[in-house]
């Protein structure tokens, strides 16, 4: 039976809803443990929602290359568990109290427990991956987890550092966000027994989509409704993270305003009152608008989407290819 034509990202989510439910079942299994806090925290996290973009990329990439078996769900759940572990650790490092509109796990159960649950997820995910007896896929997962951690450390090294360049930023984002998107698409291609060229093309496609996702996340940090965003507006800057919109603002602003922005960045850790922080954020957002920085950042994300699309030329036109691009566009259009 021929499927209806995919017209937008919502069609893709609808088409793969059953697949993602299967992924979620395996994800729940990864949280199983006699240590009861682990599944309890797991339910808190899984119930927090999220689009499951990384698992979706993996399942679609596998289907594109001819694989439609349970291993796609198993490895997709492993990728999502590793992503979840990274979020647990990130929230502790950042001191975040809210994620996706819900109270963060460490705010409820404490830092020590949540760090250990994150460790458990990393270990149990890799155990499950190894049990599938596919060393090439295990290697892809291990490399992605390694790069992701490197990216987080590189970002910490650049906290409140106004000298950070766009090249520095891309290097961080490729690792901390792009690595898991890239691994997701690579694993899908490996499951399908693709040629080396197609495996590398899908790997690169995923990497570029991950960069787009992070760029648009960084745009949203300065302009989205806090209720919709599920976190505090300007949270990254408050934590000292200098993302692409700020890098572009420092690049394009007049000297006096650039000095003002640098002063705000350097004073982040000075124990300012909430009112002072809010005033700084309001000023930054005003300057971002004055110099069309959000539009400049969005155009840079568009360039990466175009590069991602070029990676798919090796594949014949089909619903799965369309689905990958629709989700890539979805990752970008969240910021509009």
Portion of the chain with pLDDT greater than 90, in percent: 76
Query: Sorting pLDDT into bands at 50, 70 and 90, what band is 107?
Result: confident
Residue 96 clears pLDDT 80, i.e. is over it: no
Please report where in the chains the tokens 């299967």 appear, as a residue.
22
Which residue has better confidence, 247 or 334? Answer: 247
Residue whose C-alpha is closest to residue 190's, from 180, 174, 201? 201
Q: What is the pLDDT of residues 187-199, one digit of tens each?
A: 999 999 999 999 9
Look at 28-42, 93-107, 150-164, 253-267 and tell me which has the smallest mean pLDDT. Answer: 93-107
What is residue 98's three-state secondary structure?
strand
H or E segment and range at residue 102: strand 102-103
pLDDT of 230 above 80: no
Question: Hey, which residues does 99 pair with through a beta bridge?
Answer: 102
pLDDT at position 1 is 34
Q: Are the C-beta atoms of 92 and 75 separated by less than 8 Å?
A: no
Q: In terms of pLDDT, which residue wins out, 79 or 228?
A: 79
- For the ranges 34-38, 90-94, 146-150, 222-226, the lowest mean pLDDT is seen at 222-226
Catalogue all structural domains in the chain, each as residue range(s) with its CATH number.
9-151+166-333 (1.10.600.10)
Share of the chain above pLDDT 70, in %: 94
Q: Does 87 score more than 80 pLDDT?
A: yes
Segment among 2-6, 119-123, 210-214, 259-263 with least mean pLDDT: 2-6
Biggest CA-to-CA distance, the chain: 64
Q: Tell me, what's the pLDDT at 234? A: 84
Question: Which pLDDT score is estimated for 4?
Answer: 60
pLDDT tier at 92 (50, 70, 90 boundaries)?
Answer: confident
Average pLDDT value for the chain: 92
Q: How far apart are CA 138 and CA 127, in angstroms?
A: 10
């Amino acid at each position: 039976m021929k499927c209806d034509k995919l017209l937008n990202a919502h069609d893709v989510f609808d088409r793969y809803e059953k697949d993602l439910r299967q992924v979620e079942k395996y994800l729940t299994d990864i949280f199983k443990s006699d240590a009861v806090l682990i599944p309890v925290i797991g339910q808190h996290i899984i119930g927090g929602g999220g689009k499951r973009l990384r698992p979706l990329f993996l399942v679609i990439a596998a289907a594109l290359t001819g694989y439609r078996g349970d291993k796609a769900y198993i490895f997709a759940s492993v990728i999502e568990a590793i992503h979840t572990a990274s979020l647990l650790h990130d929230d502790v490092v950042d001191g975040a109290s809210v994620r996706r509109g819900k109270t963060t796990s460490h705010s409820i159960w404490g830092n020590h427990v949540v760090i250990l649950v994150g460790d458990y997820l990393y270990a149990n995910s890799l155990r499950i991956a190894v049990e599938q007896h596919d060393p090439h896929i295990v290697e892809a997962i291990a490399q992605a987890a390694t790069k992701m951690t490197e990216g987080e450390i590189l970002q910490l090294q650049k906290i409140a550092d106004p000298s950070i360049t766009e090249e520095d930023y891309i290097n961080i984002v490729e690792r901390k966000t792009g690595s898991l998107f890239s691994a997701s698409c690579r694993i899908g291609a490996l499951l399908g027994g693709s040629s080396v060229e197609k495996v590398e093309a899908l790997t690169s496609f995923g990497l570029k989509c991950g960069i787009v996702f992070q760029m648009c996340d960084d745009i949203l940090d300065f302009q989205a409704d806090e209720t919709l965003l599920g976190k505090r507006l300007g949270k990254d800057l408050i934590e000292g993270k200098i993302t692409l919109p700020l890098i572009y603002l420092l690049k394009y602003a007049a000297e006096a305003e650039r000095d003002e922005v640098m002063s705000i960045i350097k004073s982040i850790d000075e124990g300012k009152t909430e009112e002072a922080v809010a005033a700084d954020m309001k000023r930054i957002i005003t300057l971002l608008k004055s110099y069309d920085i959000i539009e400049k950042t969005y155009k840079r994300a568009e360039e990466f989407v175009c590069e991602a699309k070029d990676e798919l030329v090796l594949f014949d036109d089909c619903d799965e290819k369309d689905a990958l691009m629709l989700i890539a566009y979805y990752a970008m259009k969240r910021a509009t």
